[in-house]
Amino acid sequence: MQWVFVVLGLFAALSELHSGTFYLAGVAVAAFLTALAGIWIAPGLLPYVFPAFCVALLPAIVFLRRHLARDRALPDADIGQLVTVVDVSVETRRLAVSYRGSRWEAIVDNGPLPAPGQVAIITAKTDNLLHLTVPAEAKRN
């Protein structure tokens, strides 16, 4: 009966390498621990030990997943890129800018509103709203 859990552990580990979900790694560890526990526990009890290991390992897996995901956060590639102002709404302080070949809605976080045709720099992004700053040389023009 132990070989079933070794095979399950190998299958879960290989599936984890393919999918990258990280939770299958917990299933693989639980399966290998169940196979190891089969040395001391009767084979008929192993189908009950496996879900117990899965439930016991779940908090550790969730913690590790969140901890590793937080450490590997990729920076936003749009930050620091230049956009061209297409339209300005003075009443709402909203801008329409051209960026990556499409029209985006934007706001200027601090400073004066740029004129249409001027360039600005993306400082942040909230959903589909770009937060901009106007470069110093563009403010003088």
User: What does the pLDDT look like over 47-103, one tens digit per residue?
Assistant: 999 999 999 998 988 888 787 766 565 677 888 999 999 999 888 889 999 998 899
Domain finish residue from 15, 45, 71: 71
pTM over 0.85: no
Check whether residue 19 and residue 61 sit in a common domain.
Answer: yes
Q: Which residue range is the domain that position 30 belongs to?
A: 2-71
Backbone angles phi, psi at 18, to 5 degrees: -80, -40
Domain finish residue from 71, 97, 130: 71
In a domain, 57, yes or no: yes
Q: Which of 94, 87, 90 is nearest to 109 (CA)?
A: 94
Q: Do 86 and 103 form a contact (C-beta atoms < 8 A)? A: yes
Euclidean distance between CA atoms 4 and 115, whole angstroms:
69
In a domain, 41, yes or no: yes
Q: How far is CA 112 from the centre of its chain?
A: 34
Angle between helices 2-19 and 46-71 (to 10 degrees): 20
Q: What total number of domains does the chain contain?
A: 2
Q: Which two tokens stand for residue 141?
A: 């023009």
pLDDT of residue 67: 79
Check whether residue 86 and residue 49 sit in a common domain.
Answer: no
Backbone angles phi, psi at 85, to 5 degrees: -75, 130
In a domain, 77, yes or no: no
